[in-house]
Structure 1
Amino acid sequence: MSSASAAAAPPRNPPFRAEHIGSLLRPDHLVKKRYEVAAGTAKPEELVPIEQEAIKEVVKLQQDCGIESITNGEYSRHQFWGTFMETLNGMEEINLREGGYDQSIFRAYAPDVKSFMHEKTIPNQVTVATGKLSHTGKSTFLPELQYLQSILPKEKHKNIKLTLTSPSWYHFRYGPGKAYLPGVYATDDEYFSDLAKAYQTELKILYDAGLRNAQIDDPNLAYFCSEAMLAGWREDKENFQTADEQFDAYVKFYNACIGKRERDFHLGIHLCRGNYMGSKHFSEGAYDRIARKLFNELDVSTYYLEYDTPRAGGFEPLKYLPAGKRVVLGVVTSKFPELKDVDEMVGRVEKAVRVIVEGTGRSREQALAQLSVSPQCGFASHAEGNSLGWGDMKRKLELVRRVAERVWPGEA
């Protein structure tokens, strides 16, 4: 389906039938220039025109593929979570301190940390609260939104999707009480309370600037599906609560961060199992263990779920999806060049529909109305991207659009 035919389809609010998760492959010259700026061999202003031209190109790609939910490909970032946490009052990247830091602050069994340690490296941007947290009043995501608004017609501004940092990103990877320095917070609840206020401020700034479509990227919640992680949690004598209690605490924390948004502000959450350089994943495990609570207690409108390989389990958890909420089925892999058959992908969607129908008693039409399709994750959560090329990515997005047109003909 061309961008012209997608534009002619009936208007629709997000999520659209054909979606993608946000990050797209960056051109080599953009990646190179960003590294030069980071190394001090190029001036920051040299990056701006290169970045903006690349964003124009990737916006055109999305439109050519018939994708209505437009992102900047995360081209203004080095990695998917951006710089929200790092720029809050009270947050510090302690890895930049002279002399480094004690690596024992990490949960060794946290899937991403475990993968890094296996390769004898440490995660980038080791950021903790060294003082009370608060928003500075200046959003580092706002320029991304404003530039997209400047190059898109006003009627398309509501389609702009901004990907946001997981509130739990710099909490889960550290051991109990180690997301903040001693004396800064006495409990997680105090830390969560201040961070939630900062998150609410961020969302208000973006909403007031015209953002109506956002997606939180959170691998952490899916880690609670990993048997290896759960075993590590049980063995960790420092934990003062069970994994289930921690999951409950995160849901409560999330709702404090996002629950007060305006009704016309579409907010979704993407859960995956890692998407690192060289198309690596960090964990495995089906959504069954968390699905009932995730779907019924987390105050988001849409769940973007990874469903491209058996490691994500089957569609059975969709029987817990309540009416009024949506799921974007990530059935197309973004990790490798292999292109699946359209009929196979349509069949996957139909299987998900049957699970919802049988599990909830809703009609097929009602179940279909709750679903969309997408790649299972971004194409470049980090600067270097996954193990495929620009042409492969384009064909993947076109496949998503073709599947959507087969399942929901005439809908964007």
Structure 2
Amino acid sequence: MATEAKRNPPFRAEHLGSLLRPDELLEKRDAFDKGELSAEELKKVEDEAIKSIVQTQLDLGYRAISDGEFRRHMFWGTFFPNLDGMEEIKNPSFDMFRVYVPDMAPFYEEMDHPPESVICVGKIKHTGQSTYIDQFEYLKTLIPEERWGDIKLTLAAPEWYHLRYKEGKAYPKDVYANDEEYFHDIALAYQTELDILYKAGLRNVQIDDPNFAYFCSQKMIDGWSADPSNTTPLPTLLTSYIALYNACLARAPADMHLGLHICRGNFINSRHFSEGGYDAIASQLFKELNVHTFYLEYDTPRAGTFEPLREVPRGKNVVLGVVTSKFPEMEERGEMVARVRRAAETMAGGAGVGGEGVKEALHRLGVSPQCGFASHRGGNCLGKGDMVAKLRLVREIAEEVWPGEP
């Protein structure tokens, strides 16, 4: 129907942005890293791989098109290293990290030093040059202009390089006196980035953030409490992070769709990092964080129940990640359809305030894989055929629950 063709994000069938890289691209990227391939030669391979994966998404009937994050090594890209005042460091010491933060723990347990990281060394400021813009501009060449607003670009979480560092280690004290000053400049950098991307035509933004899920992890909570260097209570830090987000997004135009993916981790061999339902953060996060859509992981019991959906207020959407992107075993479509309907019933009983009908709750839902298929370039424990089958399943679930809607 014409009205549905003009539907804005979020869509009924979504995926979370990262897709499996073809073997040739992985081989050429390794050659480039070894100095055996030029940047121009690598770009040609990336361009062809992206063209192919975009066609795959179109063939499957997806509206929110991404480039699969094929030009990135990890899901967050190169936003932070490109900021004035931020510097990438190689072979950092564990002494500067909170090693109980869920994505740091595996490195502490299995390696003698963490991987590269990015840290503040001076006043933070956007350079005026976006490291995401070229990814968006190339996607614009692959689909009709009337579809440019569907393009989804995934961005790094603004507090990504704060939580992992011990108190006092995220920035020099002679540069920023406190977190409030540091967050202020991070927010200005995000405002500039979003302005650049909006002026280029971007209307569909998804921020990927594992950190919020860590506030639901009992291991993280226990580690925080046992760390004598922490002077900030976790609830206070959560409030600060929500305020940081709202400052980052404060100047985004009304027609720019803003989504937040709360990730439980997706690393080598499909490893996850954190467990625990959204209950601990649901009321505050869903009500106070100013995004249009929450992309939530619901593929395994570690995500908890649908009860926290009762806290999602009217006017905000949820995309349910009920299909796993980590392993090839296929979910049963009827069971997934039933789960989506149960989520709607739960959501309708709360709706943040006062409740609503199940039909109205369903109107605020969509379905997706729980995470990307390749948050890091090596990908998850499945092959391309498995990925396509999973994406097709998501589309079929959406078609059964919301017939005729994209």
TM-score by length of 1: 0.96
Which amino acid in the other structure matches residue 386 of structure 2? D
Which amino acid in the other structure matches residue 6 of structure 2? P
- 2:103 corresponds in structure 1 to 112
Deviates more, 1:381-390 or 1:24-33: 24-33
The 1:367–1:316 alpha-carbon spacing in structure 2 relative to 1, beyond 3 Å, is same
- 2:387 corresponds in structure 1 to 393
Q: Does 1:20 align with 2:11?
A: no
Q: Is the 8 A contact 1:112 1:282 kept in 2?
A: yes
Runs of 4+ in 1 over 4 A off after TM superposition: 6-9
Q: Is the 8 A contact 2:89 2:118 kept in 1?
A: yes
1:99-138 alignment to 2 at 5 Å? 100-120=91-111, 122-138=113-129
Q: Does 1:151 align with 2:145?
A: no
TM-score by length of 2: 0.97
Which amino acid in the other structure matches residue 176 of structure 2? Y
Identity percentage over the alignment? 55
The 1:293–1:29 alpha-carbon spacing in structure 2 relative to 1, beyond 3 Å, is same
Please point out which of 282, 297, 303 is paired with 1:306: 297
Cα drift, residue 28 of structure 1 = 1.1
Which amino acid in the other structure matches residue 330 of structure 2? L
Cα drift, residue 122 of structure 1 = 4.1
Q: Does 1:36 align with 2:34?
A: no
Render the CA deviation track for 1:236-269: whole Å, top value 9, x for unaligned: 1111111111111100111111122100000100
Structure 2 unaligned regions, length at least 5: none
Q: Is the 8 A contact 2:92 2:117 kept in 1?
A: no
Secondary structure of the corresponding residue to residue 50 of structure 2: helix
Cα drift, residue 93 of structure 1 = 1.0
Which amino acid in the other structure matches residue 70 of structure 1? I
- 1:3 corresponds in structure 2 to none
Q: Does 1:226 align with 2:221?
A: no
Secondary structure of the corresponding residue to residue 270 of structure 2: coil
Secondary structure of the corresponding residue to residue 319 of structure 2: strand
- 2:375 corresponds in structure 1 to 381
Which amino acid in the other structure matches residue 213 of structure 2? A
- 1:243 corresponds in structure 2 to 234
Cα drift, residue 8 of structure 1 = 9.9
1:5-404 alignment to 2 at 5 Å? 10-95=5-90, 100-120=91-111, 122-360=113-351, 361-404=355-398
The 1:324–1:271 alpha-carbon spacing in structure 2 relative to 1, beyond 3 Å, is same
Cα drift, residue 186 of structure 1 = 1.5
Alpha-carbon distance in 2 for matches of 1:259, 1:291:
21
Cα drift, residue 40 of structure 1 = 1.3
- Alignment length (residue pairs): 403
Q: Is the 8 A contact 1:330 1:377 kept in 2?
A: yes
Secondary structure of the corresponding residue to residue 112 of structure 1: coil
Alpha-carbon distance in 2 for matches of 1:403, 1:372:
10
The 1:14–1:397 alpha-carbon spacing in structure 2 relative to 1, beyond 3 Å, is same
Which amino acid in the other structure matches residue 211 of structure 1? L
Which amino acid in the other structure matches residue 227 of structure 2? D
Cα drift, residue 124 of structure 1 = 2.9
The 1:59–1:7 alpha-carbon spacing in structure 2 relative to 1, beyond 3 Å, is farther
Alpha-carbon distance in 2 for matches of 1:248, 1:126:
25
Deviates more, 1:234-243 or 1:261-270: 234-243
Alpha-carbon distance in 2 for matches of 1:53, 1:61:
13
Structure 1 unaligned regions, length at least 5: 1-5
Secondary structure of the corresponding residue to residue 305 of structure 1: strand
Q: Is the 8 A contact 1:88 1:133 kept in 2?
A: yes
Alpha-carbon distance in 1 for matches of 2:368, 2:50:
20
Which amino acid in the other structure matches residue 367 of structure 1? A
Q: Is the 8 A contact 1:113 1:122 kept in 2?
A: no
Q: Does 1:408 align with 2:402?
A: yes
Q: Is the 8 A contact 2:92 2:116 kept in 1?
A: no
